[in-house]
A = this chain, B = another copy of it.
Amino acid sequence: MSQLVEGVPVAKAVIKLGKALLDPSSVAIVGASDDVSKTTARPLRFMIEQGFEGRIYPINPRRETVLGLPSFPSLAALPEVPEFVFILTGTATVIDTVRQCGELGVAVVCVLSGGFSEEGYEGAERQNELSKVARQYGVRVVGPNSIGVVNPRNGFFATANAAFAEPQVPIGTTFVASQSGSVIGALMTRAKAVGIGFAGLVSTGAEADLTLGEICEATLDDPGISSYALFIESLENAGSLVRFAALAAERGKGVSVLKLGRSDAAAQLSVSHTGALAGADDEADAFFAACGFVRVDTFEALIESTPLHGVLPMLPPGHKPRVGVITSTGGGAAVLVDQLEMRGVTVVKPSELLFAQFAENGIDVGHNLIVDLTLAGTRHDKVLAALGAMQRSGEFDFIVFVIGSSARLNPDLAVRAIAESVEGNTPVGAWALPDALESLKLLHSAGVPAFRTPEGCADALAGLLARSGVQTEALAQFRSVDAGLTEVLDEVASAAVLGAVGVRVPRSWVLLRGDENVIPADAYPVVVKALSADLPHKSDAGAVILNVQSQGDLDAACDRIFTNVAAYDADVTVDRFLVQEMVTDGILELLVGYRVSETVGPLVVVAAGGVNVELYRDSAVRLAPVTSQVAAEMVSEVRAIVLAQGYRNGPIGDVDSLVETVVALSQLAVQAPDVIEAEVNPLVIRPQGNGVFALDALVRRRGLSPNKQLQSHNPESELRM
């Protein structure tokens, strides 16, 4: 396990927090209403109806009783210090009430009220004050703007979410944490419809104190929780997720995430909605991959993917997942195969040996990609035999049964047989072509992951099959950054920084203007460039001359660059030149980059060179540092790499060196924490065995050297990543 968590188990205080959050012995509800039509009556009503066994104290100075329970005028008037306080009153009194909770020694306070970070400057100030009070007294706060906390296992329904008026909220082993309050109710109802329950649901609100990650961490040693479903609008508090991710992985508890912001519009929305800044979507992808989380795209896959965590083991690195599809309905199965393949999941055909076994067992199927039992697919014995043969074959990592009409009409046929196959040594899941909620419930209760839609099934499976372990080294390097003042280094200084971690540049010389400039004769042809941190766009300035062949041409080139730059920008005087050997055997130019993101920490990027990264978003991003294996994965994700892999009988490039260079660049996260950004563009890939070379390099680091231009955030000199 990583140094991040080694010797740092979930602390006692955190476990205590988890208990106070989900299983408090006493709860006070400040502002509880006796009028059942009011939102503020809900938490008390729900807890009474759901039979919460802890002690409940309504606080309402204007009443003797609230919903039949004796009412108290204030927290101070209670016969004991409540473990959990839910504040339902208006914005104005929240901070005072939290302070009072702190003075009394309450463990957890949940704040329903809005009027904080989502409401401009004043609201943000108010939220800062709330955070300060919480820290000052050590009282832990959920919210503000939290719709509450629900534990279906013990009737602790401390929530104002109307959905929990539901009589039978099913219990499961997945814990839900959501930055949107309405989503917890919606997930519960949608999960209930297919027979999935939850072990707890928390609306994390604006996270003035407790973050989503901290809340999840507090539940990690709850034996009733085996997986997590997270609804995330912003990664502003990513740090706490890092810790949770490492600890969850250690415990083998899987995590599914739905995060807003796949589109730019939704990213902006999450600003207006919770007052938090959403990170860029590729940063989020990289972050979740490093955390070992499964990011899903469809709303229902957030629910339906959770049972997969328990049954589908992580595949060994480099293993291409093999999914088998068996069905009673060929047309339906084809719909699923289409959805799976679109998401990169390979459906594999049974071997001839397996077809022979089918025949021996009297199972008559065509030798096709899909095992189509047709009518036999509604016979319990045939399904059992066919599934058993597939499970024993070892030819599949996962098998999906696509059930036809019998799922709706006669679950005792195929559905029961699938449920009975749950003990086989290959996990099985199911999608029902018709509307068949009762069958989905039956399957879920038997422990078989089942899906309502082919899109949800494919989304969940693609995510689970692609997951790999946490990138522990990267998580250990996680840090949020306030870049402050930074400086951009010139190309030679940049190359020195990158050279220290192992990025190679061609043989180079720095020449001074006016000096006698002699380089070895065998160095020609060379490239001559102005050397200056003040010229971010050298080519535009006429400050790069290629293919210089001789000493005479070299002198002329230096003169020309001097003149060009003077004409381009009178403020820049070129007094140094960088001369490099030409790379004449380049096969492909890419971009590799490194950046410390404000939200998710150090990142490394591989991308198509030139304009293609912008036009086609042809890039791969991961948290840094990366292992060779992750770097190789990244390289294979960049589509342009095929051009260096013998495309149209072309040459084969040194992809191994490319992978090494990505690993090297990512080591900046460990070895050069002052570097904020680094970009090699282009990185040229030469033929196999000849390596890769950085042809241009730019590094931005924190702090200022003497005599360097101050560049705190000058868009002109921005590195593109």
Contacts and interface: CB of A to CB of B under 8 A. Distances in A.
A579 to B, nearest CB: 28
A397 interface: no
Contacts of A436: 189
A434 B265 contact: no
Interface in A405-429: 405-406, 408-409
Contacts of A162: 404-406, 409
Interface string A372-409: 10010000000000000000000000000000111011
Contact of A335 (B299, B369, B639): B299
Contacts of A333: 269
A183 interface: yes
Given A268-B369, A269-B370, A408 B163 contact: yes
B265 A369 contact: yes
A311 to B, nearest CB: 24
A330 to B, nearest CB: 5
Interface stretch (A76-84, A461-469, A609-617): A609-617
Contacts of A642: 615
A192 B435 CA distance: 9
Contacts of A181: 331
Interface stretch (A90-98, A255-263, A568-576): A255-263
A334 B270 CA distance: 7
Interface string A145-164: 00000000000000001110
A333 to B, nearest CB: 8
Contact of A163 (B260, B328, B434, B643): B434
Contacts of A14: none
Interface stretch (A241-249, A336-344, A621-629): A336-344
Interface string A216-236: 000000000000000101000
A373 B612 CA distance: 43
A369 B334 contact: no
A272 B333 CA distance: 12
Contact of A273 (B268, B330, B611, B643): B330
A366 B183 CA distance: 20
Nearest to A187: B434
Contacts of A369: 265, 268-269, 272
B337 A265 contact: yes
Interface string A195-238: 00000000000000000000000000000000000010100000
A7 to B, nearest CB: 38
Nearest to A328: B182
A455 interface: yes
A618 interface: yes
Contacts of A404: 162, 182, 185-186
Contacts of A455: 298-299, 455
Interface string A312-350: 000000000000000011111111011011100011000
B375 A331 contact: no
Contacts of A372: 273
A181 B647 CA distance: 43
Contacts of A262: 338, 341-342
A368 B118 CA distance: 12
A346 B162 CA distance: 31
A272 B374 CA distance: 14
A368 B405 contact: no
Contacts of A260: 334-335, 338
Nearest to A182: B329
A71 interface: no
Contacts of A186: 329, 332, 404-405, 433-435
Enumerate the 3 nearest inter-chain pairs by beta-carbon distance, A residue then B residue, closest first.
A180-B331, A263-B341, A266-B338
Given A265-B346, A616-B639, 11 more contacts: A186-B404, A186-B435, A260-B334, A260-B338, A261-B338, A263-B337, A265-B337, A265-B338, A266-B341, A270-B334, A299-B335
Interface of A: 39, 161-163, 165, 178-183, 185-186, 189-190, 192-193, 231, 233, 258, 260-266, 268-270, 272-273, 298-300, 328-335, 337-338, 340-342, 346-347, 366, 368-370, 372, 375, 404-406, 408-409, 433-436, 453-455, 611-612, 615-616, 618, 639-640, 642-643, 647
